[in-house]
């Protein structure tokens, strides 16, 4: 009797360990899936504006480096290469190509606006901040690459859920607080305003459709 029951008990224990392992694997898979498709949160809506501002703040340092070196503000070849790389990365993360191009073209244009304004002011006698500038190649561009990578990740999450009116409002408030010019803010925020308007039109159409459905007469019985 014991010789029969013992293997049965072993099989039950073995099965329990197998199930425990399977459940653990399922849990890990679920966690990784959640990380890969992390939903947008209200914090993301604020973070997008903060990262936009962080990138534009670096443009101020880029202006100092270019003023020191005499390099031109506009570098079309480099800007085109950056935009192509960002667009490829964005589409790989599920962001529509046109939206990626629209957003990052706006950020590059706003960055150029910051540099142009500062260089024009310094040329007219506005004091240049004291101290040596950061090196453009070894210090500023790696920092720009890092903030742009984080900006892209947040943009992808926000793009999934929308709420663009709130996103644009928060970003505008951050850029105003960080004392960027009206023109710089307009350029940087333009894609968010465009998506907010589109979202509002879609919501209006949905409400109209729902009203029409409610007013539709019921079929005769």
Q: Which stretches within 124-140 are classed as H helix?
A: none
In the block, tokens 């957003």 appear at 103
| Mean pLDDT across 124-146 | 96
CA torsion through residues 49, 99, 191, 106, sign: positive
Tell me the pLDDT tens digit for each residue of 61-100: 999 999 999 999 999 999 999 999 999 999 999 999 999 9
Position 153 scores a pLDDT of 97
CATH number of the CATH domain containing 116: 1.20.59.10
Q: How many residues does the chain have?
A: 221
Position 42 scores a pLDDT of 66
Position 213 scores a pLDDT of 74
Position 179 scores a pLDDT of 98
Position 20 scores a pLDDT of 42
The whole-chain average pLDDT of the chain stands at 83
| Mean pLDDT across 132-148 | 97
Round to whole Å and give the CA distance between 100 and 90.
6
| Mean pLDDT across 126-153 | 96
pLDDT above 80 for 15: no
pLDDT above 80 for 188: yes
Residue 71 structural domain = 41-199
pLDDT above 80 for 29: no
- Say how many Å lie between the first and final Cα of the chain, rounded: 72
In a domain, 213, yes or no: no
Please indicate, yes or no, whether residues 75 and 170 belong to a single structural domain of this protein. Answer: yes
DSSP string, 24-44: HHHHHHHHHHHHHTPPP-HHH
Closest Cα partner for 116 from 72, 77, 70? 72
In a domain, 208, yes or no: no
Please indicate, yes or no, whether residues 195 and 115 belong to a single structural domain of this protein. Answer: yes
Please indicate, yes or no, whether residues 22 and 55 belong to a single structural domain of this protein. Answer: no
Please indicate, yes or no, whether residues 25 and 73 belong to a single structural domain of this protein. Answer: no
Percent of the chain at pLDDT above 90? 68
96 in helix, strand or coil? coil
What DSSP character marks residue 140? Answer: I
How many CB atoms are closer than 10 A to CB 29? 10
pTM of the shown model: 0.76
Region of poorest pLDDT, from 24-33, 52-61, 97-106, 114-123: 24-33
Round to whole Å and give the CA distance between 69 and 211.
63
In a domain, 194, yes or no: yes
The answer to whether the beta carbons of residues 115 and 181 sit under 8 Å apart is no
Position 165 scores a pLDDT of 94
């Amino acid at each position: 009797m014991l010789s029969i029951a013992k293997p049965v008990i072993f099989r039950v224990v073995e099965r329990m360990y197998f199930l425990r392992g399977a459940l653990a694997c399922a849990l890990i898979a679920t966690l990784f899936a959640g990380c890969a498709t992390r939903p947008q949160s209200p914090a993301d809506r604020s973070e997008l504006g903060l990262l936009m501002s962080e990138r534009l703040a670096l443009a101020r340092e880029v202006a100092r480096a270019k003023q020191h070196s005499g390099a031109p503000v506009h570098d079309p070849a480099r800007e085109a290469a950056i935009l192509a790389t960002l667009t490829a990365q964005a589409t790989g993360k599920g962001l529509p190509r046109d939206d990626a191009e629209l957003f990052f073209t706006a950020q590059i244009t706003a960055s150029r606006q910051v540099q142009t304004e500062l260089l024009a002011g310094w040329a007219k006698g506005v004091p240049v901040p004291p101290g040596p500038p950061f090196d453009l190649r070894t210090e500023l561009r790696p920092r720009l690459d890092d903030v742009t990578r984080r900006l892209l990740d947040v943009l992808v999450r926000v793009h999934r859920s929308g709420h663009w009116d709130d996103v644009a409002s928060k970003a505008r408030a951050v850029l105003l607080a960080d004392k960027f010019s009206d023109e710089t803010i307009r350029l940087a925020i333009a894609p968010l305003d465009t998506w907010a308007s589109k979202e509002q039109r879609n919501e209006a159409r949905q409400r109209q459709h729902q009203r029409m459905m409610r007013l539709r007469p019921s079929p005769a019985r």
